[in-house]
Structure 1
Amino acid sequence: MSDHRNGLRRSSINLSDAIIPGLCAGCEARHIGLCDALADEDLHFLASVAKSHTVPKGRMFVAEGDKARHFFNINRGTAKLFKDLPDGRRQITGFVGAGDFVGLAAADHYAFTAEAINEVRLCRFDRTELRSVFTTFPALERRLLDVASHELILAQEQMLLLGRKSAIERLASFLLGWSDRAEICPNGAQALALPMTRADLGDYLGLTFETVSRALSALKRQNIVEVGKDHGVRILDRDRLSAFATSRS
C-alpha cells in the first residue's frame, strides 16, 4: 500500500469510533455487492460518495432515455427493469434485488426504466465522484468489471430461455435462478419470496399470465414446488426442478 492510501485509512478510522459507517451498518448488501470488495475500515471512502435513498413501491428511480449520470446498488427490496416498446407495450428485461447493480452498463443515456416492486433501499453513486475512489481502491473497479461480465452472461442465458425453452422449462429456470439469491432454510427447502406479479413474471419469461399459472400448477401437482401466500414458492424437489430447467425431465 502507498503511504497516501495508508494515511487515508488512518483518517477514516479517526473520523469515527465505529469502523463501519452508519450508512453501511445493517445493510443487506454489505457482503454481496460492491462493498464486499472493501475491508470494514475502508468503507468510509465508498460511503462518502454514496447517497442513500428509499424508493416507495411503484416509484421509478431510473427512466429510459434520461442521461446516465448515476448507477445504483440495491440494498433491500426488489425492482423490475423494463423497456417501452413503440406500440405502447412494456418488456420486462430483469428483476434486481439486494447486492445487484442498476445502470452499470449504461452509455450516455439509460436504455431501460427501473421501478420498485416493493419498497427499495439503495445507494446512488455519481459516476464522476466514484472514479476518485477507484484511484485509491482499484479492487472496486475490478469488482464492477466482474459485475459487467456477469450481466453479459445473464443476457445470453435470457436469450436461450426465450428462444429455445418451453413454458415449464422457462419457469423452472427462473425459480432456480431466483433461489440462488435466497438463503437456504434449515430444513433444506428454499422458501422464495416472489414479489413480482404473475403478469410481470410472464412478461419477463415471454409467456401469458395464464401460461405462467398453468406451468406453476403443473410443478405443484408433481410435488416439485409448493405455492404459499403472497406469491411465495417453496422448492420441494430441486433435482426434478433442475431436470425441467435443463430439458432432462
Structure 2
Amino acid sequence: MLVDTGSCDAFGTACSHRRPRNSCVDCKVRPISVCSVLALDELAVLETLGQHLSLDKRQVLYGQEEPAEAVFNVIDGSLRLTRLLSDGRRQVMGFALPGDFLGLAREDRFSVSAEALTPVTVCRFERRAFGALVDDKPHLLRSLHERAGHELTLAQDQMLLLGRRTAEERVASFLVGLRERYARMGRASVTLELPMGRQDMADYLGLTIETVSRMLTRLDRERTVLIVPGGVRLLDPARLEALAAS
C-alpha cells in the first residue's frame, strides 16, 4: 500500500511524492538504529534490501546453530535471546527491543536463539546483500562498530553484575538499565513494562525465580517500586539508582 505525501495529477498516476507506507524514511526506530547515519538516497537503497517480518508471541525468529543468513532490525516488540548449554540448561543472554540490530556477529551460525516475547515486527536483510552495502558505506560500518562496542560494554557490565552484585543490586540494575533503554526509545515513563517473565529475569541475572520474586516484593514493600500488571512503577527512582550503582 502507498501513502500519498503530496499532490499528484488529476488522473492519480504515480509521482515522486508517493512512497511505501513502511518505508525506511518513515521508520519509527530509524533515529536510534544503526541506519540513522544514512542519507535519504542511501535509505532508498537499504529499503530495496529489506523485508518486513511479523512474529507472534513465542514464535522463533532464528534458532541457535541455524545458518546466519540474515541480519535483523527490530521495529516493534521484544525478543528473548537465549543460549542452550551443553548440559541442557538455558542461559538468557539478553532482551532485544525496538532499535536493536541482531545478527551482527561474523559467525556462520547464530550463537543464540531469538524468540518473541510479544508480537514483533523486524526488518530482515539478507546477510550478503547487507554486507555489500556496509562495504560501500564507511559511515554505516562506523555505526555498526559503535553498536558492537556498546554491546561489548554491556557484556562487561553483565559479567560484573553476575560476579560482584547482591541479588537486590542485580534486580535494581536490571530495572534501571531497562528504564534507560526505554528512555532512549522515547518511552520515558515511571512505569516499566516487563515483557519478560520472572524466570527470564532469573536466568539473565543468575538467580532463581524465587529470589527474583522475593527481591521485587522487597522493593515493593519498601516503596521503591510498585508491582503492577505487566511491569513495575518506579516510586523512588533515586533509591533504585543507588542500589544499582552499589
Q: TM-score, normalised by structure 1?
A: 0.85
2:82 paired residue number: 82
Query: Where does 1:7-86 land on structure 2 (aligned, <5 Å)?
Result: 16-18=16-18, 22-24=22-24, 26-86=26-86
1:96 paired residue number: 96
After alignment, is 15-24 or 27-36 more displaced? 15-24
User: 2: CA distance between counterparts of 1:26 and 1:196?
Assistant: 28
Query: Where does 1:234-249 land on structure 2 (aligned, <5 Å)?
Result: 234-247=233-246
Shift of 1:25: 5.9
Summarize the Cα distance change of 1:199–1:213 in structure 2 as closer, same or farther, 3 Å threshold.
same
Aligned with 2:30: secondary structure? coil
For residue 81 of structure 1, what is the amino acid of its counterpart? L
Aligned with 1:182: secondary structure? helix
User: 2: CA distance between counterparts of 1:124 and 1:118?
Assistant: 18
Shift of 1:29: 1.2
1:9 paired residue number: none
**Matched positions, count:** 230
Query: Where does 1:1-249 land on structure 2 (aligned, <5 Å)?
Result: 16-18=16-18, 22-24=22-24, 26-183=26-183, 190-230=190-230, 232-247=231-246
After alignment, is 14-23 or 198-207 more displaced? 14-23
Percent identity of equivalent pairs: 42
Is contact 1:91–1:203 with CA below 8 Å preserved after alignment? yes
Shift of 1:15: 7.7
Shift of 1:138: 2.2
After alignment, is 97-106 or 18-27 more displaced? 18-27
Aligned with 1:51: secondary structure? strand
Offset from partner CA, 1:167-212 (integer Å, 9 cap, x none): 110000000100012249xxx8521110111111111111111111
User: 2: CA distance between counterparts of 1:56 and 1:25?
Assistant: 25
The alignment yields a C-alpha RMSD, in angstroms, of 2.1
Q: TM-score, normalised by structure 2?
A: 0.86
Unaligned runs of 5+ in 1: 1-13
User: 1: CA distance between counterparts of 2:134 and 2:169?
Assistant: 41
Is contact 1:20–1:43 with CA below 8 Å preserved after alignment? no
Offset from partner CA, 1:12-32 (integer Å, 9 cap, x none): xx9842477633365331211
